[in-house]
Structure 1
């Protein structure tokens, strides 16, 4: 069911370094700015806390996991103080010698990690040298809005977005460290096809490709970060007149097609239909 009350969402674009202390300070500053702007949830890029592989991390031995944990706990405490939900990109260590997951921590406004999304489709480089893939979708709810999570190269796998559509997601939070500008077009297409909002949070290092943005259920970019290192806050309003067709007509109609007997014409006994050479 489509939510009825507007929701304030912040989408961040931040740099990613190999120093979790620096990354943590940037994350906390963005959280304070988002809370001051009335945001209910802030969404961050891929790997923004721990650092991302190859750029700049070349080997997991470079990462001090105790510092990453300290910074994560500081973010959790601040989320509770600000009463702000946080979706934060970071590597999540597993039991050695397994490689980490490439994850999004979902932190509640009470300061708890309520769930985590682990990237399911890792790139060839990731799965060969750096990460252990996850295996399941992640869905959570805030103020009647239903959120799903995806990470970077997963934009190339429509089945993941179809799955979130079946799970009734209203907003997809897509964190990324992209390598091409067509990425934005793909993200807009998923939003338009499934009539969902999509928050695309990327890193400052890829600002030359496109800027992090909020995409509405028509596939339109309706809010874009104003600077290389910044955030944008946008109100998701399910009652907005311009979204009426997408949310109240297109989305429910598309969901109904598979079970609608009018579209099941496999047994149609009409020679004018079965003869595909006739005119």
Structure 2
């Protein structure tokens, strides 16, 4: 039996203005609901803004406003009967630095999954506490996982998720508000294509559209092909289908498991 997810991948100019971020998100949630999508996917720290870029200190950060905004996101998910995957900053109960988190809200408005970014950049780690655990959850029977931006630099993470039975990755990024174009234009989508193809993953990757953003949001098939992408530096939403009944080229498929088991030849 085919397991299908209709996914809306969205981008907008994420900023330090929580209320403005929320307005963008609720608008896209409604649009995705009107299109009968199963899930709507947003960028890294899209609700809170991204520490170190959108704001330079946690001093006077309005956690109460962020909490209220998160409740409104959950309410919008419930009202539109749609899963919502979004990035935010999350207070750490130990009193250490906050987490950079990707939250999954189900169609009833309840929290299904919270992933705390495990690999923070050298700059990001000054503001965020790295997480320690990876997650998996199901949407329409498809086994999914969440990752955040810099995680893509570590192929071992994707092998771990493959060993957990994951089929689809929702990965949120924040590469924006740069002074000029960077090498990320040439390597980030391409790296995600590699992660998809070598592990046979569906991938929804979404990025902030605040200029200058070096790459737009993209949707990638399990063979590594970019099926669709949004425009540079412009807000937008695209709708794609994750359909597990579709078969794609999987070059490493016959020998992937033996390599994962530590045997690095197929003699």
- TM-score when normalising by structure 1: 0.86
Structure 2: distance between partners of 1:26 and 1:264: 50
Partner of 2:220: 215
How far the C-alpha of 1:4 sits from its partner, in A, is 2.0
Confirm whether residue 239 of structure 1 aligns to residue 245 of structure 2: yes
Q: Counterpart of 1:172 in 2: which secondary structure?
A: strand
Partner of 1:113: 111
Residues 156-193 of structure 1: per-residue CA shift (max 9 Å, x gap): 00111111110111111110113622111111100010
Partner of 2:179: none
CA RMSD of aligned residues (A): 2.3
Q: Counterpart of 1:205 in 2: which secondary structure?
A: coil
1:259 to 1:97, Cα distance in 2 relative to 1, 3 A: closer
Structure 2: distance between partners of 1:229 and 1:236: 22
- Note if contact 1:177-1:206 (Cα within 8 Å) is conserved in structure 2: no
Partner of 1:36: 34
Confirm whether residue 134 of structure 1 aligns to residue 131 of structure 2: yes
Match of 1:72 among 70, 73, 85: 70
Question: 1:100-249, aligned counterparts within 5 Å?
Answer: 100-127=98-125, 129-178=126-175, 180-181=184-185, 182-205=187-210, 208-226=213-231, 228-240=234-246, 243-246=247-250
1:4 to 1:251, Cα distance in 2 relative to 1, 3 A: farther
Q: Counterpart of 2:222 in 1: which secondary structure?
A: coil
Structure 2 gap segments, 5+ residues each: 176-181
How far the C-alpha of 1:114 sits from its partner, in A, is 1.8
1:165 to 1:155, Cα distance in 2 relative to 1, 3 A: same
| Regions of 4+ moved over 6 Å | none
Residues 6-58 of structure 1: per-residue CA shift (max 9 Å, x gap): 22011111111111111111111011111112210111100000010122111
- Note if contact 1:12-1:43 (Cα within 8 Å) is conserved in structure 2: yes
- Note if contact 1:226-1:232 (Cα within 8 Å) is conserved in structure 2: no
1:204 to 1:264, Cα distance in 2 relative to 1, 3 A: closer
Q: Counterpart of 1:33 in 2: which secondary structure?
A: helix
Structure 2: distance between partners of 1:54 and 1:257: 39
Structure 1: distance between partners of 2:261 and 2:49: 45
How far the C-alpha of 1:103 sits from its partner, in A, is 0.1
Structure 2: distance between partners of 1:203 and 1:260: 38
More helix by share: 1
- Note if contact 1:50-1:63 (Cα within 8 Å) is conserved in structure 2: no
Partner of 1:254: 256
1:158 to 1:257, Cα distance in 2 relative to 1, 3 A: closer
Question: 1:9-88, aligned counterparts within 5 Å?
Answer: 9-88=7-86
Residues 76-132 of structure 1: per-residue CA shift (max 9 Å, x gap): 0110111100111000011374110000111111101122000011111122x2111
Moved more, 29-38 or 100-109: 29-38
